[in-house]
Amino acid sequence: MKHGVAALLVLSSLLVLGTLIAGCTSTPGTAGTGQTPQMTASLSGNASATAASEAGIITANNRFARDLYVQLASDPQYAGSNIFFSPFSISSAFAIAYEGARGTTADQIHSVFHFPADNATLREGFSEVNAGINNGDMNYTLSTANALWVRKNYQLLPDYVSTAGRWYSANVANLDFGGKPEESRQIINTWVANRTNDKISDLLPPRSIDTTTFLVITNAVYFKGTWVKQFDANDTQDANFWVSPGKAVTVKMMQQTDKDAVYPYAETSDLQMLSMPYAHGTGSSLSMIVILPKNGNIATAEAALDPQNLSVLEQSASSKRVMVYFPKFKLKVNYELSSTLNAMGMPTAFEHNADFSGIDGTVGLFISKVFHNAFVNVDEQGTEAAAATAVVFSKSAIAPEEPVPVFRADHPFLFLIQDNDTGAILFAGRIVTPNGT
């Protein structure tokens, strides 16, 4: 796999770091090493169609990452809070949902996630990226998985099931959402926990599955890697971390300051960028990219998240000795993203008139909730990160079609002759034997 795939995980790390390091202007420096992955994929003139499809998915993912970060960062409920998420996990789950979307619903999902225009590129791209992620490496662990959880006795279209399985490796499991919603929720959460090394164990919160649930699409991503150049735990010391110009908190600050502390590093008048690589063998080269604003204003770093700006910054990096001071941290966050994605431009998917007829052949399905949990732990040895996404579909209450009544008067009956204006019954009778008297 190419360095572009590494960006999927790297950018996830970048997002939380941008907020964590926002006020750390008193720190002597930053760290990074290894080859810098390119966030905007570029292709040679003779690149294969498969490579082009992969690049299309990576570009879409990174654009969505930037858009979602901006949306979350501007949301008052996250003001002053750490932010961490996996854009690839969310995009993966919604790519499967998008396969069944039609009309305006599909158009809006396509726009928000920047998916390629044609299905072939979308499918081949995700298939290639997923295969590369799951290819394995002797020095780090990196994996992703998808699944479809379907209400018992509820039929999905065969073509949809085939597409989800072939291109996204999403197998189908039937659960009794109607009769055993809590047991169903626990089964899905166990699947997620097993694929995230138990770092995400409660993706679906209590009462998130109920009798209206018909389908849940899940994705899980897990990464664990060690630094090429690990920090010496004996050098880690208590230090101030400036959350604002006048407020500091105490953190465990790791240090890498010897002559071997050589990393790809770039600097502008406003910020510093550092790339710290993870050890790897034959798999993708992964790095953590850190963007540190010089003025303590996180908005300066956020501007660099634009794929073009980030690409220019990365290309300007050169390997040099850097005095690195970097905080240890552990973070676990959870989001319910339905209102966030709605605000980003895809409201129809969450409305009762949504069109996911490509999933089951009807127009009753709509997305009721989108749950996303993420975990990251950064220490002297390296990084462990996990994320999972669940897209929960409910079905609009559709009145059952009334059967055509059969009125067969082949047995005794009563009858009335009534004045419809006054309601007065003019005649009344009973027929026992129609041919009798």
Percent of the chain surpassing pLDDT 70 = 80
Exposed/middle/buried for residue 329 (C-beta within 10 Å: 0-12, 13-18, 19+): middle
Beta strands 170-175; 141-151: pairing state: parallel
What pLDDT does 409 receive? 66
**pLDDT grade, residue 136 (50/70/90)?**
confident
For residue 352, count other CB atoms closer than 10 A to its CB: 14
Contacting residues for 302 by C-beta, under 8 A, at least 6 apart: 18, 69, 70, 73
Rounded CA-CA distance 356/348 in Å is: 10
Where on the phi/psi map is residue 361: left (φ > 0), alpha (ψ -120 to 50), or beta? Answer: left
Whether the predicted pLDDT of 237 surpasses 50:
yes
Contact predicate 276/32, CB 8 Å: yes
Contact predicate 161/99, CB 8 Å: no
Contact predicate 99/91, CB 8 Å: no
Residue where the block lists tokens 């959880």: 149
Rounded CA-CA distance 111/105 in Å is: 10
Sign of CA dihedral 48, 49, 53, 56: positive
Which stretch of DSSP H or E encloses residue 30? none
Question: pLDDT higher for 304 or 13?
Answer: 304
Please give the C-alpha separations between residue 104 and each of 35, 258, 341, 347, 411, in angstroms, as whole numbers.
42, 57, 15, 10, 55
pLDDT tens-digit series, residues 301-349: 888 888 888 889 889 999 999 989 999 988 999 999 999 999 999 999 9
Contact predicate 138/281, CB 8 Å: yes
What pLDDT does 413 receive? 53
User: Please, what is the average pLDDT of the chain?
Assistant: 84
What pLDDT does 29 receive? 35
Amino acid at 336: E
Rounded CA-CA distance 361/353 in Å is: 14
Q: Comparing 108-112, 120-124, 194-198, 285-289, which segment has the lowest mean pLDDT?
A: 285-289
Architecture of domain 3-227+328-395: 2-Layer Sandwich (3.30)
Question: pLDDT higher for 236 or 401?
Answer: 236
**pLDDT grade, residue 417 (50/70/90)?**
low
- The percent helix, strand, coil of the chain (3-state, each to 5) is 35, 30, 40
What pLDDT does 407 receive? 62
Percent of the chain surpassing pLDDT 90 = 59
pLDDT tens-digit series, residues 18-51: 444 444 433 333 333 333 334 333 434 435 778 8
pTM: 0.84
Contacting residues for 22 by C-beta, under 8 A, at least 6 apart: 243, 293, 296, 297, 298, 301
